[in-house]
Amino acid sequence: MTSKRPRNVAIIMDGNGRWAVRRGLPRVAGHKKGVQRVREIVSACPELEVTTLTLYAFSTENWKRPVIEVAALMRLFRIYLRMEAVALEQNGVRVRFIGERSALASDIQAMMRGLEARTADNDVLTLQIALNYGGRDEIVRATQKIAASVSSGDMAIEQITQDSFAAALDTGEIEDPELVIRTSGEYRTSNFLPWQAAYAEYAFIPECWPDFTAAIFGQLLDEFGTRERRFGAVEAQGGNV
């Protein structure tokens, strides 16, 4: 049984729209509130001993939402990237983006590259933002990358291992999450980090993302410490395995 908080956490930030609708507000109001919550949770990570945080911001399936809502989300992404850049840099946050970038507007891609570059040397917290991300899409792209390396002669088939495959993923240089949290009461993983979270613990909580506070976050991290993690093994009892 572990007695420590997880240092690598991923969150499926779900329920912004429902949070707003329940209050008689437009769905975009929930997304705006959700952006404020991101700021709070990122700021709380150092005190909570979290060193890597991955946030599911926009999935490959989210393009199916109404055009007006997608456009509003893209505006919020632009605002976040522009307004938070200085604070993230000054607070020692290293920002990385995972997902397929080519479908995003060119100005958003440019802001993503700029933020990654200006925070590359920070080491207080690594913040991974999953933008236009889908786990199956990521696995396909990693497979294509490896296939191209084999085809060009840069890699032998025998060199395809779990480690080399993991290195070809968007998260290649980052360790796997220990805990994945999903807000809003849904019990699905929604195509989020299927390879990386194979042995992660999960927490599904009823609060929608705009109601997810640093206090709730801390409680979940503490609760993680009570879980027994065997990674497929059996704990020895009485000297017998």
- Which domains, ranges and CATH numbers included, belong to the chain? 8-134+177-224 (3.40.1180.10)
Q: Torsion over CA of 181, 185, 187 and 191, rounded to 10 degrees?
A: -60
pTM equals 0.92
Q: What per-residue confidence (pLDDT) applies to 213? A: 98
CB of 208 closer than 8 Å to CB of 183: yes
What angle, rounded to 10 degrees, do the helices at 27-44 and 67-83 form? 30
CB of 139 closer than 8 Å to CB of 66: no
Q: What per-residue confidence (pLDDT) applies to 237? A: 55
130: Cβ–Cβ under 8 A, 6 or more apart, which residues?
54, 55, 56, 57, 58, 59, 97, 98, 99, 192
Percent of the chain with pLDDT over 70: 94
| Catalytic residue, candidates 62, 91, 122, 191 | 62
The annotated binding site for substrate is made up of: 15-19, 27, 31, 59-61, 63, 65, 182, 188-190
Nearest to 30 by CA among 48, 18, 44, 13: 18
Angle at 64 between CA 61 and CA 65, to 5 degrees: 110
What span, in angstroms and rounded, lies between the C-alpha atoms of 211 and 201?
A: 22
240 is catalytic: no
Segments of the chain scoring below 70 in pLDDT:
1-3, 230-241
62 is catalytic: yes
CB of 72 closer than 8 Å to CB of 28: yes
Give the strand order in the sheet containing 52-59: 93-98, 125-133, 52-59, 8-12, 179-182, 201-204
The annotated binding site is made up of: 14-19, 27, 31, 59-61, 63, 65, 182, 188-190, 201
CB of 197 closer than 8 Å to CB of 56: no
